[in-house]
Each structure stands twice: as structure tokens, then as C-alpha cells.
Structure 1
Amino acid sequence: MDDTQSGANAAGYRVLARKYRPRTFPDLIGQEAMVRTLTNAFASGRIAQGFMLTGVRGVGKTTTARLIARALNYGDRPAIDMPDMGPHCEAILESRHMDVIEMDAASNTGVDNMREIIDSVRYAPVQARYKVYIIDEVHMLSKSAFNALLKTLEEPPPHVKFIFATTEINKVPVTILSRCQRFDLKRLDAALLASHYAGIAVKEGVEAEADALAMIARAAEGSVRDGLSLLDQAIAYGEGRVKAADVASMLGLMDRSRIIDLFETVMAGNAKGAIEEIEAQYQGGGDPATILSDLADYVHWVTRLKVVKEGALADSSRTEAEKTRGAEHAQKCGIAHLTRAWSMLLKGIRETELHSDPLMAAEMVLIRLCHAADLPGGEELAKIVKQAQSSERVVPMSARELLRNNSETPVESQGSLAVKPQVAAPTETRAFSSLKDLIALATEKRDIKLKTDLESLIRPIRVAPGQFELALEPGAHAGLANEIGRKLEAFTSMRWIVMVAKDGGDKPVARQRQEAKDNLFMTAREHPDVQAVLKRFPGAEIIDVKLPDDSLPPPNMSESDEEPR
């Protein structure tokens, strides 16, 4: 082949994403619900004047819009089943039909662009049955442009149809959405994408390994177009063959078995081995952030195997090593350890992406994971400390030693750090005998200001049905009592007399709550179990103490009457 012929072939090459763009509705993969709805609507003649297509990038929004435009102008009447190419089909699919107007809202955002559409809709189509306006990324239209389009969209001429596409449906005004028939195009799962790419590889005469296609499908993140672009790149990279090793190198991925090895090393608490493994993967071309992402993916996979084993094992996008070794890890690892590793990896991936030296950041993430891999949770830690106290050991132990010495040994907890207070049964009628009743009323009516004022700005003296005696806190405005009275009358449909005393009354509820929490914090710190934990783990601190909402005493209870908690 001479250079001229080679150049002509290169100039005429069509990328896979365009070459295998669906030309009929059966060609759309993973969108069965939408196809069924459109089929029934067209068969019954219940065709909407506007369609809204939404979904992530590359799932086929623009392609679907063109298919709908083709269906509207197909044959003698609109039809979803289009076995043959009609007189308008080719031009519509190639975006060159004069009656199917495609525009990008990103570059046509203003009201003047919408006025052009409004002025042109009155004219009948030149060739086709319907004049169809396809507006891509419609969420980028300005507010005035949306408003200008409203009336025309609601009552368009019978020969006009609108089709909108967007990746950010939340930015489209509800007034537009309510005038359209909405279709949410699904993100495709990796197994379906891998099968689709395998079929395209056969049509292209390309030899492709199943593991390589699975890698591409996972990297596509549900986007058909993204995956086809990667497949195009992989074919060129492998000179006509798509091999797993080449795809991994191209995407900066590592062999899945090495990610599993890294998982085992980390969960065993072997920090030295984890550092050596990630450095080896880095020298082999692996990206540190991608390695951590793959590790997080495997943690999620093991967690799924632990929760829904049979359903997870049916995932054809997973390698045999992931299924076999993953099932073993699901039996050995506890949910608490897996969820902790997941949370730490999510934070660590972000740190690695932002750091100037990604490998350094990734190593620190792995070191944290190794040291936290077998640390017990709070509840388990309390049991371990109790058992250690009962054995009268004095020598301080590390958390790892405590866990090792007490693993698989159930211990019944004889006490707790906090006892949930008894909750009184609700009464059927409201007596309004305490400030607590009034605060509950404000909460029920969703009056946040009244609730805040009752908790922070007044000192309650006496509460009875229709009567409320109080004293004001410094900083409360003079008209607060009248405001409270008006709101109580509106909420209860009874007359309220709000009397203001110069002094007296209990402390404001907000202050009582803070003091109760401070006391609870002090009580928790002095608890023997907490003292034991602080002693065995030097440097540990109590960060917070959760206070149940109903743990406060009634506002008219004095401090001396308050029961200890």
C-alpha cells in the first residue's frame, strides 16, 4: 500500500463511537423501559409535543433524539419499528435534514436564539411530516430563554415537536419539565458493556481478551461512548489485538491479582509489605491514585460478597480471581473493618490526587490502613477492656495485643456508659402544662424562630392552658411576649395571656441542655471503663458525648431534684 492510499484510508476512518451509533431502537442497549413506553405511545397515537432525555454522558441522549425524530417522520405514519431506510432516515441520522434542527444550548443560550425558534415554528416543514427541534444540553439556556420558550412548548403547532437532552436535569426549570415527557436513560452496567464491546470486536475482526474488555467496561463508568473510545485506543495500542496487559498499561491499571495481594497485605497489618507492593506497582506503570481506587473497588466487592454473595458472584465483569479470593476474604473480614477501610480509602484517594507527590500520599494512606486494619470498634473495645480488667492485668497492652488476646471471646457487658432514659407514653390530649409542651407545639408547626425564642430567650415560671408566665433573658426584645402570645393563639385557637415578670423563673432550656451535656461529658470521662481505655491508649481523647433529646429534666425541676444519668 502506497502512502497516498494509506493517507486516504486514515482520512476516511470513522471512530467506533460513530460507526456503531444505533440506527434503530432495538440497537439501543439497556434502555428497554424507554423503548417500550415510546412503542406503546406511538402505537396508540399518544405522542407528546416535547421529550426530555436525561442521563450521564455517553448513554445515547443525542442518538435517541435522532431516532425519535426519524420515527416521527417514518413512512406513512409515525412508527418505532423502522426495518427499512425511508426517504428522510439517512439525512436525519446524519444530522443534515432541513426539517430536523439540532442546536447546542451551550452556544445558543440567549433569548434571541429562542425567538428565532418561536418565529420559525409557524412555518410548515419543507419535506418531512414534522419539524423537530433537538436542543442538546438544554440546562445551559438562560432563565429568560426558558421563559420565552414556555408558551410555544406548551401549545406548539401540530407539525412541531421538541426534543431536549441534558446531563443536569436539576438545572432545568420545573415549568419546562412539566410540559415534556421525561425519559431517564440508565447508566449501563459493566457486564452489559463488556458484552457489547465483545460483539463490536468481532465485527471489527479484532481479537480481544475478556479481561481486557471487562477493564474497558469498568473504566467507561456506564458510558457507551467512553468505552468505545477506549476500545478504539486499545486496538491501536495493541496493533489490532486487545490484551488485558496492554489495556492495564494504557489505563494505568494493575493486574487485578496484584490489587488483591495488596488488599491481603493491608488487612494483615503489614505496612512494610504494603509499601513495597505499591512501589513495585508504581515502577510497573501504575498510577498511585488509580491503585487506591482499584483497592477501594475491591473493598466494595468483598463487602458485596459478604452481604449479597449469590447476586455478586453472577457479575460477569469480575475476574475468576476476584470471585474466588474475594469469597475467601468476605468470610475472614468483618463488616466493621471493611467499612472503615472504605471510608479511609475515599479520603485517601482525594489526598493523593491533590498532593504534589502522589506516591508519597498513597503510601501514607496504606500505612494508616495497616494500623487501623484490625483495631476494634468502640463496642468491641469496651468489651475487651472489661475482660482485661477482670483478669487484673496491669501491664499496658497495645490495641493489637488486646484484640489478639481477646478475639473470638464473647463478653457480656454488665454496664453501659449511657443509659437511655425512659420515654413517657404520649397523651392523647395536650394539657399545655409545661414549657416542653409549648416547644413541642412550635416544633410541630415548624416555627423555628418561636422554638428558638422559647429555648433561649425566656425563663419559664408557670405554664397552664391559656396562661404563660415568664421572665425575659437579657437581649430579648420588648415585644417578644406579645409575639409569643399571638403565635400560641394562632396555633391553638384559644386565647393566651402571656405575663412577664421582672425576675425569677428557671434557666432557659438551651442553657439547661448545655449544662446537662457538660455534666454528661464529665460523668463519661470519670466512668471506670473510659478511664481504663484512656489509660491503655495514651494520647486518646474524648471528642464528643451524644446527649439524647429527651434526657433533659422538665424546665420546672430544680437542680437538686434532677436524677443522675
Structure 2
Amino acid sequence: MNNFIVSARKYRPTTFESVVGQSALTATLKNAIKTNHLAHAYLFCGPRGVGKTSCARIFAKTINCEHLTPEFEACNECESCRTFNEQRSYNIHELDAASNNSVDDIRSLIDQVRIPPQIGNYSVYIIDEVHMLSQAAFNAFLKTLEEPPAHAIFILATTEKHKIIPTILSRCQIYDFVRIGINDIVEHLASIAEKEGITAEPEALNVIAQKADGGMRDALSIFDQVVSFCSGNITYQAVIENLNVLDYDYYFRLTDCFLSNRVADALLLFNEILNKGFDAQNFVTGMSGYFRDLLMCKNSATVQLLEMGNAIRELYVKQAAQCNPVFLFDALTLSNECDLNFRTSRNKRLLTELLLIRLCQWNDKKKVVTDETVEHKSIEKIRVSSPAPAPTLNNTQLQNNVVATQYVTTHPSSSIGRYQEPVQKKQAVVPPSISIRTTPQEITQMVTENQAGEYKVKQHEPVSPEALQNAWLKFANDKIADQIYARNYMLNHLPTLTGSDSIRMVFDQPIQQKSFSEIFDNLKIYLLEELRNDFLTFEFELDETQQDDNALFTSQDRYTWLQKKNDALTHLRKTFKLELD
């Protein structure tokens, strides 16, 4: 029985050309070899399984090769290359810093550095997981790393660059390895499957690449696992079953429920997902990514951001064409909020079900305003002409919010109009304070539009000084209790009415005005609602007569000012050993 070798070891890169997804770094290293600009210390950092140690070995092998190829790759024929391939080279030394992280281990390495190479030009020392070295080991390594012998080259590899002390970083050339793209992983897996005589669907390899999260070693390990499960025929369905991946078809079916307002079907589908063993938070996270992909599909320029097979991408584009961009944005926002609140929620299933219900009811809450009812969001929803046979609307009907029927002219050029049956889709509610004789300009001044696109009449009730002061003090005590400076100002400085709708505020110092400006927007909204007057205006005034005595902002300023007025204050402070706050 032949010994099985996992794909991560069997297909490990042996040349710069075979390294996947790191073309910029391999080109830099090859050019350094070509121009003979070799540094004495390198730091390879990046995520797991992206080729750091493999590139270090290839680099060490290539710089010691006696007969480089025209592409500046190792020849694999000279004595140095053969000893490396047979794992008996004395020029290349590897140290696992995770298990050899003490000062004694580094001192042993330093003693070994002094020995020149037997074959080749360089002794290369590859220290993997270098961030695991202790602080004392790092300090013992500094001098040798800064000024090593001419034949010594150090290659440090780590997944956690931030744990390495700056004095080490400053002595190395730093190479940041990136996560390998999904398309690169899929192509590499397809080539391995072809060499091994395995049939694989592109969509199945795409799922493996997404599960690997940018690591080629993880992708190859998953590939071997799936091959064992599928017996040499890798299909999409077998991959999602073996890896317990939530199929995108569930999200497609859920979106159909959202668009057609089928709450019960969405909840039953979510229950089916839970019964298959999927975690609710992973479901919510996956749905956020799904809505993000649909949003990218709304624009042909951003479709390329989807890292998936062409067949699945076409399904996404077809689904995105049925969705309103506003719905996708709101759905993405709601699912992201649910994901953030998931950890603190005690009833996680209910939290997710509420998300599904809100998405299903989105079309009921968001009424689309068409051009037939409102043109450019103006208030000319009430179109009135002066036809002779038109019925008269009395004030009682207007006060009861009776729907005003529309009167349209027979021809645009005719001044004589006729009455038409009211169209339900074009009905508009007339606010009680708007008369049938009110002009569109006056209506625009009297009506405001809220965030939901609905129109309401502006409030304009008389404001009394007592009501203003009560609302002012209530806001100071209830709304800004934690903002000391602004609250103190409001409690000690009451506003005055300079007109029926004008409020005047006086500040003694600029710092008062600055602190008050931080809460002014909330105060304004509060006063407009509390006093039921949307026409209030606010005036600010800085009292320059109070600048001299009150310009004391710090405790030291106030102490110095009081000390000048009473010398006994200094004696009192020293006697009781008082300190300024």
C-alpha cells in the first residue's frame, strides 16, 4: 500500500513560478537575485497558508544554486539543489520559534552562524513563527541580526507582525503576503484535480475557495477531505453537504418571500435552516453578505466584485433585477444591526425572526410616491380648477379631513371644466387648516415633509414665557443631565421672548456659547415639539460687559483671582494642605 501524501505537501511550490497569488513578491525576490542585491535579513508576514515558508525555502535554494536558469529559478541539478531536495542540506537551517523561543536557543543559533557554508555561497536561517520568541530572546538576537557575517542571511516568518518589537522590524526588509484570491485558488484546485484524475464542478471548487478564506493550505486540506467524501467526483451539492455550508438557494427563496410579503413561508424556511444544524448568527452573517452581493449586481460595473462562478453570478444578477435598490440597502442595514445585537440578545431566534418579519413587511411600510400623485415632491397634490358645475366643499367637510376630489379640465386650452369621478389612487387628504382657496405657495409654507415621505401641517401655536421657561428647564434636567456646562448654563440663564416666535439667549462667556452649541440641535427639535410651534427662531448674543470678571475657566484662574482679593486664602490653603481640583 502506497503512503498517501496530502495535497498541501505534495503540491507545495518548489519554484517562484509555482507560487500562487504572490506575483509581486516573487518578482521582487527574483529581481534581487538577478541584480545581486540581497539583504541580510527578511521578514515574511501575512495570513496562514499563503506561502511564507515556501517562498523562504525557494529563495534560500535559489541563491545557493550553482546554475540558475534564464528565468532565475533553481536548476534542481547542481549539488546544492540536490541536497536541498533530499533534505540533507547544511546551508539551509530552519528553526521553529514556537518551541525554541528561549535565550539559550538564540545563543545556540548565534554560535552556529559563525560557521561558513560548505556548499554554495550563503547560510540561510529560516525562523518560523518568530513572534513567539521571548523578549529576552529578541534582545539577544538584535546584534547578530544587525551585523551578521557576510555569508549569513536570516528569513523570519510570522503571522502576527504586530507582536514583533520595532528594533527587529527596523533591521529587516518586510514583505507582506496577501490573501490568495478565490479565482486563483479555484484555478489551482482545478489543475490539481486534473492531475489527479478527479472531476470537479467549478461551483464546488468555488465553495471550497470561499471556505478557505484566502489560505491555499486550508483549501488543499478541504479539497482532500471532499475528495474522500465524493470518491473522485466533486459536485456542488456534495461539497455543501460535507462542509455544512448554507446554500445560496435558501437566500434566493427567502428574498422571494420578502418581495411577496410571505411572512409565514419565511419563518418556516428559517426553521428548516435551523433544523439542518446551521447557527442563527452564521445565517444572519451570510444573509448580510448575500444582500451585499445583490447590491453589487445592480450595477454592471460592480458585478465583477462578486467572487463566484459565472453560473451562480447569473442567478444573482437575475435576482437583483427583481429588487428595489432601496430595499437592498434597508435589508443590508437591518441584517447588519441584527448581527451586531446578536451577542447581547438572550432570545437569538426571536431576534432573527423579527428581522425576517420586518423584511417581509418592507413593501407595506414603504409606499412609493409616483409622478401621478406628486411631481418632484411638491405640495401640488391638490389640483383645483374653477369649473362651473363643480360641487362646493364646505368648511365642515374640510375640518373632518374629507378627501378632496380632483377637478380636471377637458382640454388644456379650454377654460371650461367638467367634473370627473374621483380616482382612488390620486386622492389626497386636505389638512384641516388648509382652505380650498389656499395657493400652492402658501401650502408649501404651511406643510412639511417628514423622513417617511408623508406630509403634515406645520404647527403654529402661541408661545408664552412661562411655557418656554418650563420646557427650557425640563430639557436641562431630563435630557442633558450628563453635560454639566450646558446644563448649568440653561439652569442659570433663562431665555426671553423678543417676539411672538423669536427666542433670545445671552451668553456671558464664549465657552458657554461653545458648550451650548453642542446641544442646540437637540434643544431646537425639543422646543419645536414641546411648544407646538414650527416657526420659532433663535437669537444668540454675547454679553461683552461680563468678559473681564467671568473669564475664569480653570480652577487655577479662579484661585489666582480670589487670592488677589484676599491674601488670607494662601494661608488657609497651606494650613489645611488643600489642592486645586
Q: TM-score range by the shorter chain?
A: 0.5 to 0.7
- Quote the offset at 1:125 in angstroms: 2.3
Residue 103 (structure 1) shift: 1.7
Say if 2:245 is the partner of 1:244: no
Runs of 5+ unmatched residues, structure 2: 368-373, 383-397, 403-425, 429-442, 451-483, 489-505, 547-581
**Contact (CA 8 Å) 2:285, 2:339: kept in 1 or not?**
yes
Aligned-pair CA distance for 1:322: 3.7
Q: Please say if 1:277 is aligned against 2:278.
A: no
Q: Is the 8 A contact 2:67 2:78 kept in 1?
A: no
Partner of 2:549: none
Partner of 1:500: none
- Alignment check: 8 A CA contact 1:254 1:291 kept: yes
In the alignment, is the contact (CA less than 8 A) between 1:57 and 1:223 conserved in 2?
Answer: yes
SS at match of 2:39: coil
The structure 2 residue matched to 1:40, chosen from 18, 24, 31, is: 31
Q: Which stretches in structure 1 are left out of the alignment for 5+ residues?
A: 378-382, 396-403, 418-454, 460-504, 534-550, 560-565
Whether the aligned pair in 2 keeps the contact of 1:49 and 1:156 (CA below 8 Å) is yes
| 1:212 lines up with 2:213 in the alignment | no
Is residue 194 of structure 1 aligned with residue 195 of structure 2?
Answer: no
C-alpha distance in structure 2 between counterparts of 1:155 and 1:360, whole Å: 63
Question: Is 1:15 paired with 2:16?
Answer: no
Q: Which amino acid aligns with 2:94?
A: E
**Cα deviation per residue 1:372-402 (whole Å; 9 max; x = unaligned)?**
677669xxxxx99x9899879969xxxxxxx
Map of 2:331 onto structure 1: 341
CA apart distance, 1:203 = 0.9
Contact 2:45 2:159 in 1 (8 A): yes
- Bigger radius of gyration among the two: 2
Cα offset, 1:160, TM superposition:
0.4
Question: Aligned-pair distance for 1:347?
Answer: 4.7
Q: Which has the higher contact order (CA 8 A, sep 6+)?
A: 1
Superimposed CA distance per residue, residues 6-47 of structure 1 (whole angstroms, 9 cap, x where no aligned partner): xxx3xx111111111011110011111111111211111111
State the shift of 1:237 in Å: 1.1
Query: Which stretch shifts more, 368-377 or 310-319?
Result: 368-377
**Secondary structure at 1:260 match in 2:** helix
Q: For 1:27, what is the secondary structure of its paired residue?
A: coil
| One-letter code aligned to 1:152 | T
Match of 1:66 among 57, 68, 87: 57
Measured after TM superposition, the shift of residue 210 of structure 1 is 1.3
Q: State the AA in 1 paired with 2:525.
A: A
Name 1:151's counterpart in structure 2.
143
Q: Matched residues in 1 for 2:485 and 2:530: separation?
A: 35
Within 5 Å, which residues of 2 pair with 1:227-376? 227-266=219-258, 269-284=261-276, 286-307=278-299, 309-313=300-304, 317-329=308-320, 332-334=323-325, 337-349=327-339, 362-371=352-361
**Secondary structure at 1:26's aligned position in 2?**
coil
- Which amino acid letter does the alignment assign opposite residue 191 of structure 1? N
Alignment correspondent of 1:434: none
Aligned to 1:477: none
The CA deviation at 1:314 is 7.8
Residue of structure 1 in register with 2:46 after alignment: 55
Distance of 2:107 and 2:363 partners within structure 1? 62
Give 1:302's aligned amino acid: L
Which amino acid letter does the alignment assign opposite residue 75 of structure 1?
Answer: E
Per-residue Cα deviation, 1:221-261 (whole angstroms, up to 9, x for no partner): 11111111111110111122211111111121233223222
What's the CA shift for 1:292? 2.8
Cα separation, 2, equivalents of 1:95 and 1:116:
21
User: Which stretch of structure 1 is more off in the superposition, 12-21 or 315-324?
Assistant: 315-324
* Rounded Cα–Cα distance in structure 2 between residues aligned with 1:322 and 1:405: 43
Q: Distance in 2 between matches of 1:281 and 1:239?
A: 27
Tell me the alpha carbon deviations over residues 96-144 of structure 1, each in whole angstroms, 9 at most, x when there is no partner: 5333221222223333322222222112124443211111122222333
Contact 1:304–1:312 (CA under 8 A) maintained in structure 2? yes
Shift of 1:61: 0.8
How does the TM-score come out when normalised to structure 1? 0.66
- 8 A contact 2:42–2:175 mirrored in 1: yes
Counterpart for residue 482 of structure 1: none
- 1:109 paired with 2:101, answer yes
Instruction: Flag the 1:523–1:315 CA change in 2: closer, same or farther, 3 A.
Output: closer
Cα distance change, pair 509–168 in 1 and its aligned pair in 2 (3 A): farther
Q: 1:508 to 1:107 in 2, by over 3 A?
A: farther
Alignment partner, residue 465 of structure 1: none
In the alignment, structure 1 residue 181 sits paired with structure 2 residue 182: no
SS of the equivalent of 1:132 reads strand
Q: Retained in 2: the 8 A contact 1:288–1:359?
A: yes
The TM-score normalised by the length of structure 2 is: 0.64
Residue 297 of structure 1, CA deviation: 2.0
Q: Structure 1 pair 299/127, CA: closer, same or farther in 2 (3 Å)?
A: same
Q: CA RMSD in A?
A: 4.5
Q: 1:71 to 1:207 in 2, by over 3 A?
A: same
CA offset digits 1:306-336 (Å, max 9, x no partner)? 35x24524856235244344355257332x5
Work out whether residues 67 and 75 of structure 2, in 8 Å CA contact, stay in contact via their aligned partners in 1. Answer: no
Could you tell me how far apart the structure 2 residues matched to 1:510 and 1:94 are?
A: 77
Determine which of 18, 25, 49 is the counterpart of 2:16: 25
Aligned residues of 2:508 and 2:544 also touching (Cα < 8 A)? no
Moved more, 182-191 or 322-331: 322-331
Q: CA deviation at 1:181?
A: 1.8
Q: 1:355 to 1:164 in 2, by over 3 A?
A: farther
| Number of aligned residue pairs | 435
Q: Please tell me whether residue 99 in structure 1 is matched to residue 91 in structure 2.
A: yes
Contact 1:53 1:166 in 2 (8 A): yes
Q: Secondary structure at the match of 1:103?
A: strand
